Amino acid sequence: ARSFADIGDIVRGKDLYLGHEQRKKELEEKLKKIFAKIYRDLTNDRTKKVEAEKRYKNDTENYYQLREDWWTANRDQVWKALTCSAHNTEEYFIQSEKNTQLFSNPRCGHNKDGAPPTNLDYVPQYL
C-alpha cells in the first residue's frame, strides 16, 4: 500500500520504490510522458509559454521542477481523491512523539477543511 506521502514522492520523482526495478522504470517512463505533455501544453499556450520555458528550460527530460510545481498545485485534489471515496468509518493514524492520534471524519477530506495533513508530506516516513 502507498501512503499520501509516497504518492507525492512518486509524482515528484523522489520515491525509492525498492525491490521492483522494472515497475519503477515503467512508472517513471509513464510519468515522464505525462509531464512532457503538460510541458507541451504549457509551452503551446501563448499566455504561459514564456514563463514555462524560462522556469523549466533546464529540465525537459525528467521534468522534476514541473513535477514539484504540479504536486504543490494539485496535492489537495489528490488528498480529496484518496479520502472522498473512503467510508467515514475508515481511520487514518498519525504517529506523534507522545502517542498515536486517530482522526476520522464523516466528510470529504477526513481532515480539517479537507486539506492534506502537512505532517504527512515532504517528510521522511515514520519509522
Element (H, E) at 56: helix 49-56
Element (H, E) at 24: helix 21-44
17: pLDDT strictly greater than 60: yes
User: E strands within the chain?
Assistant: 92-95, 100-103
- Summarised one tens digit per residue, pLDDT across range 21-44 is 888 889 999 999 999 999 999 999
Place of cell 485534489: 77
Contacts of 15 (CB under 8 A, 6+ apart): 6, 9
Band the pLDDT of 15: cuts 50, 70, 90: confident
The pTM for the full model equals 0.74
- Summarised one tens digit per residue, pLDDT across range 80-122 is 777 776 666 665 555 556 655 554 444 565 556 656 665 556 5
Domain spans, the chain: 4-120
